[in-house]
Amino acid sequence: MAPAELDIFIAGEEDMRELNRDYAGQDELTDVLSFSLTEGEELPSPDGVLRLGEVIIAYPVAQRQAEAAGRPVREEVAHLLVHGILHLLGYDHAEPEEELAMRAREDQLLAVIAERG
């Protein structure tokens, strides 16, 4: 398996809403956005590293969602990060069967994260 890298950014609500409006066409706040560097035509990396893209997490939203779910914000951020990475890897949840597959993979990965502490 080739090495891979991605960028992770933590954003505030205003920045996240602006990004969602400008790049996803939705003028609303969201909890996580992913921007792929591997969609479309892929150029080979001279160093062999697969650069996946960026995952941006709205931390204030993550805090509220964690409180509402009764779990630590660390777990919510982990969930959002896994969700964003899966989008970079081609997962989607637009259709019910896609959502089931994506949620199942999220659960698998989050279980590994929880196990490793």
Residues 4 and 49 sit within 8 Å (Cβ to Cβ): yes
> Cα-flanking dihedrals φ and ψ of residue 27, to 5°?
-85, 70
pLDDT of residue 41: 59
Helix or strand run (H / E) with residue 99: helix 96-116
Instruction: Name the class of domain 4-116.
Output: alpha beta
**Global pTM value:** 0.91
pLDDT of residue 79: 97
Which pLDDT band holds residue 18 (cuts at 50, 70, 90)?
very high
Three-class secondary structure of residue 58 per DSSP:
strand
Three-class secondary structure of residue 94 per DSSP:
coil
For helices 73-88 and 96-116, what crossing angle results, to 10°?
A: 130
Rounded Cα–Cα distance for residues 68 and 62 (Å): 10
